[in-house]
Structure 1
């Protein structure tokens, strides 16, 4: 026995708990806690361009969620199989039941509820932020006219059109003319983004500047060996997790004798919701390292962290240069490596994050670590940078 799913439709905004503009990380984190309602979830993407590929999250059998490629924001919601009873689906608009197991949504019901619409050149009905699609070859028996009915002439065609059953509903951001958004477009800034990081500018040997939504909010400058754990809590709120360092395997590679410890346990502040980790000294409680995550589908750390839209800033050409060169999260490793050092890439270390995960198979299970002056790149076999560590 399936429990009934009930959603309110908000044109240009979303349905139920799904809000246009919400991040992929937030949606999947929510769905993880609702497995009884959504037991089967599939994620589809192009593995060849997974850093920038749009993603589709399928909640079978009724809902597809399309996320933009760059910022991983919910772009379009598609509802289909409205009459599939596993589970039953109820759709409402302003307390009006549009579709339910007892109520089939038809063209006449759409027109009665939403009124006139824009001409589309097709059979669809498109409203700002809302789109209804119909099956093309509709027969009288399928729309409830009756087995013995004989439809002829203009009146018969109009009756058939009025009773067309809605097969698919799409919700996206509102346009000015009712046209559907391009699936490759990014989502325009909206309230669902407020409080999230819009971009992060990384400066070697200095730290990171965080720019937040809404645009125009004063950026936050976090400095290595200066910003404290208390500063982070005041500016970013408490971390979702505090993790005390126990793994000392990397100290064998360190030339800094201080890495062996200063009498106090170093610890991490994990801000999964921002795609950031901060490694903090147990003695001074200042930030020693900043780790920034790209959240690439198919990588071992996918969905543990929200994508942080990072950029590495280089030195300006002169004192009057206010647009210093930058490399971004979607640039290939070879490009970023040459930006950091024109020499050949340094020797790498091999890392397999799935060693402790029996039976886990991923398109990119292993990564390589490349160390430069002040920064470490963690790189997939596909030359995509999955994370960076600033120190």
Structure 2
């Protein structure tokens, strides 16, 4: 394998993009190890280890963007920088005999040239013979073992690293920034310079739609989509058409017609009583229904299977079925296309007017938006890239976002809706979860086998019982508020948000 040290085509890439590419080449990447925090998967960094390739990739938790590439074994890959080998192979071409990296002279004379002095890190073990000297260039840093007895602040670092006191580099780091000391404190929080996918670089809007940075949810069926280079796009549920969606975000990655009726019983008229339908999915007294959850194709194996619709003629409204789902895997969301329906109400503290009833119409519109969290450990992990969102509750700065723990989201939304007609009549339902089991049946493109069953060991039972057991079903819970449906993991992370 040849790894070209081109930061523009790697750093900033989404975890979804990198994992998809790595998994598609099992001969090149035979071993994949994903490490993340089971308690805080959306805040702590995510580490992708490729032991057979000598690489370790670090992503930030909230945005899941690649921030750091580490080469830990130089014998596992042929590293090239501007057509120059970073590590010279032996005369026989065999690099497997040693994991040592380039020597200081090779780095200094042939690869990158003069550099400012680096940093010396003394050994933590007082009996250790070697410390580490980190030599930084813009975007690249090398770690050289250096005899601790030879180190002195007054020494010329070029002479010191050229002497026998220093060994060849043991690791190399690739990052965004002028030097490692300047960037390490803000490595996982600074704005990435490059897009999530290298395919969008240098492409015009006519060729490829601008990538989505985040969704702003204002209630009353109104969403604003923040994009990297283009002005924000507006989505109004019940008004935005399929053609509008395609014009703004490009053709969907897939289109499916849904036949899943597994929770339709929960969308019956209000009331609990003998012989009546269970009522959990709608808010009493509001006329609003809790939307079906997860209309992407990864949760669709039922008595009736999903039907994939050809995307060749999606510009023709007559070619679409009455209800279909536009899957934008690389944008992180799905859109439910159906006949117009009245969206959820405005937030009580919002200045937006209540949405009006939608007239009967033959033109299909977007009636639901499903935003996927791509939480490590969740059942549909890596089906979509992570979608970030913000809920704007009023005209001030009162907001909730995709990294907010659900307990905080729930308490805030109950306070917001307290006293309103919808909040009073639906208070019981807003506090009762519906259990969604993703562990039975087949699931196309699921990566649960790849992850190794985190849900089985860390996400069992009620959310308030850390060591409960449900047989490893991988259950999540659904919580509904007017116009919003949250799918929540046992650690409190929001795996999916449906806006309807």
TM-score range, shorter chain: 0.7 to 0.9
Q: When the two structures are superposed, what TM-score results if normalisation uses the length of structure 2?
A: 0.65
> 1:150 maps to what in 2?
none
1:388–1:158 Cα change, 3 Å? closer
Query: Residue in 1 aligned with 2:498?
Result: 389
Are 1:37 and 2:28 an aligned pair? yes
The number of residue pairs the alignment matches comes to 350
Q: Which has the higher strand share?
A: 1
1:296 aligns with 2:300: no
Contact 2:105–2:162 (8 Å) recurs in 1: no
Question: Helix, strand or coil for the counterpart of 2:58?
Answer: strand
Give secondary structure in 1 for the equivalent of 2:19: helix
Contact 1:277-1:291 at 8 Å conserved across structures: yes
Alignment of 1:199-210 (within 5 A): 199-210=214-225
Q: Describe how 1:216-365 pairs up with structure 2 within 5 A.
A: 217-255=230-268, 265-281=322-338, 284-316=363-395, 323-342=396-415, 345-356=430-441, 361-363=453-455, 364=459, 365=474
Q: Report if the CA contact (8 A) 2:5-2:79 is conserved.
A: yes
Unaligned runs of 5+ in 1: 139-154, 317-322
Where does residue 182 of structure 1 map in the other structure? 185
- Kept after mapping to 2: 8 A contact 1:21/1:190: yes
Do the aligned residues in 2 keep the contact of 1:89 with 1:101 (CA within 8 Å)?
no
In structure 2, the partner of 1:160 is 164
Shift in alpha-carbon separation, 1:174–1:69, aligned structure 2, 3 A: same
* Deviations 1:161-191, CA, capped at 9 Å, x for gaps: 57x2111010000226864423753242423
For residues 331 and 227 of structure 2, the distance between their equivalents in structure 1, rounded to whole angstroms, comes to 10
| SS of residue matched to 1:166 | coil
Report SS of the residue matched to 2:48: strand
- Aligned counterparts of 1:251 and 1:158: Cα–Cα separation in 2: 73
Of residues 50, 55, 73, the one that matches 1:81 is: 73
| Distance change (3 Å), C-alpha of 1:277 and 1:100 | same
TM-aligned CA distance change 1:371 to 1:106, over 3 Å: same
- 1:170 corresponds to 2:169: no
Q: Distance in 2 between matches of 1:197 and 1:125?
A: 36
SS at match of 1:336: helix
User: CA offsets, 1:210-244, max 9 Å, x none?
Assistant: 11113xx3100111011011111111111101010
**Counterpart in 1 of 2:142?**
132
User: CA–CA distance in 2 between the matches of 1:384 and 1:336?
Assistant: 10
Alignment CA distance shift 1:210-1:366 (3 Å): same
Q: 1:90 to 1:157 in 2, by over 3 A?
A: closer
Q: CA deviation at 1:95?
A: 1.0
Specify whether residues 53 and 166 from structure 1 end up closer, same or farther in structure 2 by C-alpha distance, changes over 3 A only.
same
Q: How do 1:139-158 residues align onto structure 2 when only pairs under 5 Å count?
A: 158=162
1:30-53 deviations in whole A, cap 9, x for unaligned?
Answer: 112222111111111111111212
Which shifted more, 277-286 or 72-81? 277-286
Q: CA RMSD in A?
A: 2.7
The separation in 2 between residues aligned to 1:19 and 1:181, in whole angstroms, is: 18
Instruction: Report if the CA contact (8 A) 1:91-1:100 is conserved.
Output: no
- 1:121 deviation in Å? 3.1
Deviations 1:45-69 (A, max 9, x none): 1111112121010111311110012
- In structure 1, the residue matched to 2:60 is 68
Q: 1:235 to 1:66 in 2, by over 3 A?
A: same
Cα–Cα, structure 1 residues 174 and 135, in superposed 2: closer, same or farther, change >3 Å? same
In structure 2, runs of 5+ residues without a counterpart are 96-100, 121-132, 149-158, 201-209, 270-286, 290-320, 340-361, 419-426, 460-473
**C-alpha separation in 2, matches of 1:8 and 1:156:** 29
Closer, same or farther in 2 for the Cα pair 1:248/1:100, shift >3 Å? farther
Match of 2:84 in 1: 96
TM-score, normalised with respect to structure 1 = 0.82
Distance 1:98 1:275 in 2: 37
